[in-house]
Amino acid sequence: MTYLQFTDFRNNSKEYFDKIENGDSFIIIRKGKPIAKLLPFRENSTGWKREIKKVKLKKSADSLEYILSERNEK
For 24-68, what is each residue's pLDDT tens digit?
999 999 999 999 999 998 766 566 777 767 766 666 557 777 777
In the predicted structure, residue 5 carries a pLDDT above the cut 80: yes
Beta strands per DSSP E along 1-74: 2-5, 26-30, 33-38
Q: Which domains does the chain have, with CATH numbers?
A: 1-41 (3.40.1620.10)
Contact between 11 and 36 (Cβ < 8 Å): no
Closest by CA position to 23, among listed 7, 13, 38, 5: 38
- Answer yes or no: is pLDDT of 12 > 90: yes
